Amino acid sequence: MVLSRQGDRHGACTGTVVAPDVILTAAHCVAGNKMLAIAYPEGETHILQRVADKATNPGYSGKSRVSVDLALVRLESALPARFTPLELDDGSNEHAIGQTRRIAGFGLTMDRAESSGGTLRSASVLVLPKLYPRFMRIGRETGTTLSDLAICTGDSGGPVLDGNLVVGVVYGREKFGQARDCGVTGQAVRIGPQRGWIEGILARWRGQASPAPRRPMSLSGQ
């Protein structure tokens, strides 16, 4: 989970491990003057990892509903060895309307159900019309209902997967049909066209010395 705080406002998004100390997420989750941390389950609590740096895609705009809402977060120290970075689409992965993908996220099960967040869930989805070079829409089908699929607060930044390959990052939701709570179709940034930007940031960070790691924090205070 990508946790943020700005003033008295708190937020939570989803992220994907793409290097031992780097998380891929949505730009709106980390943009601005936010205090950031990465959290992951450990036994009956969650461990917090401090953030050393972040990079938002130059194509991101907080004023637009459609932009390259993509960001990378670098941790002060590497995640435990049990976390395996996922492979990113290099642009050669085929995308077609109707193909099956999987999404995953720590989001709520419905709007305002705050206690339902923090649990990793996944769902099978389809690539929906319209398919753009840099973006995709995902959902069950054009006639879907709220009970079929809900992309809720906290799911932003989560991966769109083709097997174990990350082909997109969820950044938004759409109200559709009779939906009254979470949006039932989602918007995602396609990874292939942004692979060069991602590799450039990773290369820059690999060339920088990391600060001396501090002990991870526990949400339980232990």
Element spanning 16, H or E: strand 16-19
**pLDDT computed for residue 186 by the predictor:** 83
**pLDDT computed for residue 145 by the predictor:** 47
DSSP lists the bridge partners of residue 161 as 102, 166
Distance CA 152, CA 166 (A): 20
Is 38 in contact with 44 (CB distance < 8 Å)?
no
Looking up tokens 């309307």 gives 97
Distance CA 29, CA 2 (A): 7
Distance CA 54, CA 70 (A): 11
Domains in the chain (CATH in brackets) are 2-85+195-218 (2.40.10.10), 88-192 (2.40.10.10)
Distance CA 168, CA 195 (A): 11
**pLDDT computed for residue 71 by the predictor:** 98
- 135 HSE (CA, 13 A, CB side): 18
Entry pTM: 0.86
Is 47 in contact with 218 (CB distance < 8 Å)?
yes
DSSP lists the bridge partners of residue 187 as 137, 172
Phi first, then psi, for residue 16 (nearest 5°) are: -120, 135
**pLDDT computed for residue 147 by the predictor:** 45
- 20 HSE (CA, 13 A, CB side): 8
DSSP code per residue over 44-112? TEEEEEEEEEEEE-TT--TT-SSS---EEEEESSPPPTT--PPEE--S-S---TT-EEEEEE---SSTT
Per-residue pLDDT of the chain (222 residues; tens, 9 = 90+): 999 988 888 889 999 999 999 999 999 999 988 899 999 988 888 899 999 999 999 999 988 878 999 999 999 999 999 999 999 999 999 889 999 999 998 887 766 667 767 788 888 888 988 888 999 988 876 554 444 455 778 889 999 999 999 999 999 865 544 445 566 678 899 999 999 999 999 999 998 755 555 555 555 443
Phi first, then psi, for residue 210 (nearest 5°) are: -80, 145
> Tokens for 144?
């879907």
